[in-house]
Structure 1
Amino acid sequence: MKIQTKYIGEVEINKEQIITFPTGIPAFEEEMSFVLYPLEEQSPFLVLQSTKTVEIAFILVNPFDYVDNYQVKLQDATKEQLHIEKPEEVATYVVLTVKEPFSETTANLQGPIIINARTNEAKQILMSDSDYTTKHKIFKQAAKTGKGE
């Protein structure tokens, strides 16, 4: 099956690539079918693209590569809803808000996207009882150099 994507045009996908959000994504409840693909070759950034609406695509990243000691505790209800049987089935991503310059880009650590890699069922969860924010800067600030600072 072919779909139009926001960032790379038309792509061929197969049913096994489709990730299903049974209840949609908050603010996009009607969007339940997505595919995940790399933004660019060898890029750590991924695109979560709606299979239904070209304009709905989110840039994701694995938070564990950018945030020290990031932790996600899944509620039993989420595990049941996504049919998660083992921890190794869980893939965790966070949505980026891309900014100019790119070094100012932030991540929503409070609302990670959880995917069961075995079943391709997914859900965006809300960790409101954590210290994480929706606008966490993920890039380490370069050390300032120069005299008089």
Structure 2
Amino acid sequence: MKVHTRYHGDLEISDNEVIYFKNGIPGFPDETKYILIPLGENSPFSVLQSIELIELAFVVTDPFPFYKDYEFEVPDYMINQLDIKNKEEVRVYCIVTLGDSLDTSTVNLQAPLVLNSKNNNGKQFVLNTDKYHTKHVLKMNKKEMVQEG
């Protein structure tokens, strides 16, 4: 199927690349189908692009290279909703707010996107904690990104 994207033009994708957010993402309840597009070969960032609304795309990243001690418990109801059978199926991404540079960009650790990589079901989970908030500075230096990417 052909998808029109905000940053990558038209892409040909297969059905197994579509990530389903049954109830959408908060603020976008009607947009339920997305694809994840890497932002370059060695980049820690990707674009979570709606396949139905070209204007809707989020820059996301795996939070763990930036915050090695980042942790939260996935509740049982979410494990059931996403049909997670084991922890190896779980992928976590966080939405990035781009600044003028990487040094001024932030990541939302309070509301991670939890994905089941086996069946491509996803849900944004808002953490009920004071430990994380919506604007954490990206902590990894550029040298580490190149070495790990």
TM-score by length of 2: 0.91
1:6-17 equivalences in 2 (<5 Å): 6-17=6-17
2:122 is aligned to: 122
TM-score, with length taken from structure 1:
0.91
> C-alpha displacement at 1:58, in angstroms?
0.4
Task: Please show how residues 67-146 of structure 1 align to structure 2 within 5 Å.
Answer: 67-139=67-139
1:130 Cα deviation after fit:
4.3
| CA-CA distance at 1:11 after TM superposition | 0.3
Task: Tell me what 1:65 maps to.
Answer: 65
- Kindly provide the CA deviation profile for residues 84-123 of structure 1, in whole angstroms up to 9, marking residues without a partner as x: 0101100000000001123110000000000000000000
Structure ID, larger Rg: 1
The runs of 5 or more residues in structure 2 that have no matched partner are 142-149
SS of the residue 2:64 aligns to: helix
Q: Alpha-carbon deviation of 1:43?
A: 1.3
Q: Equivalents in 2 of 1:17, 1:140: separation in Å?
A: 28
Contact persistence 1:107–1:138 (CA under 8 A): yes
CA distance in 1, matches of 2:54, 2:140: 32
Structure 2 CA distance for aligned equivalents of residues 70 and 26 of structure 1: 22
**CA deviation vs aligned residue, 1:33-90 (integer Å, no higher than 9, x gap):** 0000101232110110000000100001110010130002100000000000101100
The code of the aligned residue for 1:108 comes to N
Q: Could you tell me which residue of structure 1 aligns to residue 41 of structure 2?
A: 41
The amino acid of 2:127's aligned partner reads M
Structure 1 residue 140: Cα displacement = 5.3
